[in-house]
Chain A
Amino acid sequence: MTLRLILTSMATAARRNTSDRSSVLVNIVFFVVVASVMSALWRAAAEANGGEIVGYSVVAVTWYALAAEAATVSLNMRMIELVCDDIASGAVATELLRPASVLGVRISMAIGAALPRLAVCCAAAAVLGPIVGGAPPRALGVVLAIPALVLAIACNLVAQHAVAAAAFWARDVRAVWFLYQKIVFVLGGMVLPLQVLPDGLERTAMLLPFMTMAYVPSRLAAGFIEPELLLLQVAWLGVLLVTAHLVFTAGERRLQVVGG
């Protein structure tokens, strides 16, 4: 994969994604509704708990919820299903006829499609956050949260491709998609800060790649200045990329031997 191909793939997908303005609008509305509900829930829980919950103030938990929802709403959570369909229908087989990595092009395009949505969510959060919760606890936290959100999306999309590659061996992997989604929601910190989980589960979640997909940017946005979390994301992204590459390569080889 050349840098030019990565950038062109991302730009192509971004253009394709933003060509439909109504879907951009739906995206904003969806983000505003979900982020408002989630932050209201967590603010209520924090206020009921003396103005703080597991170390997060009312304002911090608001920004946690906004970042977590931005990481969720920005990406296509049905990516696993789409990749599975493309493997089953033979679309991936014809992509093998191009002199470029099928996985590389697909991931670049998926990230390119997610970035405009992320930008829209971040802009909406910048307006919504101060209205519903107040100014961010630490400005630096918000600054760090932006690259963390990009990395969170990248980690999630790469992991989804690695999981979706199961379709090279099994025809129907919808159950896997359902399971993946639930794991990311809970162990990825999408619906609640990981510190809320029981001790053992929290420790387990911290050791898994899912925490890079929502918890890390949300923790930073909540004002916890822990830049080492960004390094952790980069490391997990590397591991996930290698895993996805190995699984996809094995799947492509199987496709070549067994057929679509």
Chain B
Amino acid sequence: MTTTVIATRSLSKTFSMRARTIEAVRDISFEVARGERLAYIGPNGAGKSTSIKILTGILHPTAGEATVLGYVPWRDRRKLTMRIGTLFGQRSQLWFELTPRQSFRMLAAVYRMDARVAERRVAELGELLDATDLFDAPARTHSLGQRMRCELAACLLHGPEIVFLDEPTIGLDLLAKQRFRELLVTLNEEAGITIFLTSHDVADIEHVARRAIVINHGSVIHDADVAAMRRTLLSRKLVEVTFADEVPAPMLSGVEVLAHTGTTLELAVDTDVRSVRDVLDEVLGDRRVVDITVLDPPLEDVIAEIYQS
């Protein structure tokens, strides 16, 4: 039996800024079941952060209803915060001059955790996040990727049932991003934590989420399984290849040449028709290659496709 842990109905938020009003969130309705991995995605300014602030109780909506774990977030914020975790990519929960372990002690007092229980939990999280070594060095000495693992530990310390992550991978390098995504999947699969992830990075959806809600201009424009999205909207990959010598433009089915400047090729590959590997085999042959990049299409392109379809 699935349990709904987040439910919104006709949720709206309007900000009044002197002479003008901004509808940041407009008539949003959705439900999230316990244990789901949801990506809540949209371009900058789409209303993702406003939605997350309403669902965590920081903001009052202008209209509509919402419950999170049975609480009305803006009315029962204190009670709700005991059962949810939040991680804002651009806002640290750690004190930079202190070691994460010292910050965890402070957070344990905030969440009224027994000191011994908190110590045990820190040890568990250290193992789970492969971060034990990081806990005893001042947070200011960590790389962004290392710090985000410690931030995640801080967010999970009190054993939340839902974790809201607002752009957690922003600024991370590719390896750190990949590692962070794997951690989120592990947390969901091993601890059953519901993941509510906002991002404007298409790869976050593909690697973390099982379901994605796409939001644009404050409204939900798409709500589907990621597997279905992958077939319909995320089947395009961008491939950029730089060769040592001039090459002709390829003529392959499922491949669109976006740019060709003698030694460089920019291709859009429809992976439903042909895999990226196939395309690379065909294009590279025995030519001398300087550089290869495979990218996801920008979120704006995905949204444009949603509107077209």
Give residues in A with beta carbon < 8 Å to B: 2, 4-5, 8-9, 12, 15-16, 19-20, 90-91, 93-94, 96-100, 105, 255-259
Contacts and interface: CB of A to CB of B under 8 A. Distances in A.
Contacts of A91: 91
A93 B106 contact: no
Contacts of A97: 56-58, 77, 81, 86
A15 B102 CA distance: 9
A257 B81 contact: no
B88 A94 contact: yes
B154 to A, nearest CB: 11
A255 B53 CA distance: 11
6 contacts: A12-B95, A91-B91, A98-B81, A259-B13, A259-B15, A259-B50
Contact of B58 (A5, A93, A99): A93
A12 B102 contact: yes
B112 interface: yes
Contact of B109 (A5, A16, A256): A5
Interface string B106-125: 11011110000000000000
B305 interface: no
Given A16-B95, A19-B98, A259-B53, 16 more contacts: A2-B109, A8-B109, A12-B98, A15-B102, A16-B98, A97-B57, A98-B81, A98-B110, A99-B78, A99-B79, A99-B111, A99-B112, A256-B74, A257-B59, A257-B60, A259-B15
Interface of B: 13, 15-16, 24, 50, 53, 56-60, 74, 77-79, 81-82, 86, 88, 91, 93, 95, 97-98, 102-103, 105-107, 109-112, 138
A93 B112 CA distance: 21
The prevalent SS among residues of B at the interface is mixed
Contacts of A105: 110
Nearest to A9: B106
Contacts of B103: 12
A94 B60 contact: no
Contacts of B56: 97
A27 B6 CA distance: 51
Contacts of A256: 57-60, 74
Contacts of A94: 58, 86, 88, 91, 93
A162 B97 CA distance: 27
Contacts of B60: 256-257
A96 B57 contact: yes
A256 B56 CA distance: 11
Given A12-B98, A256-B59, A257-B60, A99 B82 contact: yes
A260 to B, nearest CB: 8
Contacts of A259: 13, 15, 24, 50, 53, 59
A256 B50 CA distance: 11
A196 B170 CA distance: 58
Contacts of B53: 93, 259
Nearest to A105: B110
Given A19-B97, A256-B59, A257-B60, A99 B110 contact: yes
Contacts of A98: 81, 107, 110-111
Given A91-B91, A96-B77, A258-B15, A4 B98 contact: no
A107 to B, nearest CB: 14
Contacts of A90: 91
A98 B103 CA distance: 14
Contacts of A100: 110
A94 B110 CA distance: 14
7 tightest A-B contacts by CB?
A8-B109, A99-B81, A12-B106, A16-B97, A5-B109, A100-B110, A97-B86
Nearest to B138: A19
Nearest to A98: B110
- Which of B13, B88, B109 has the largest count of A CB atoms less than 10 A from its CB? B109
A5 B113 CA distance: 11
Contacts of B112: 2, 4-5, 99
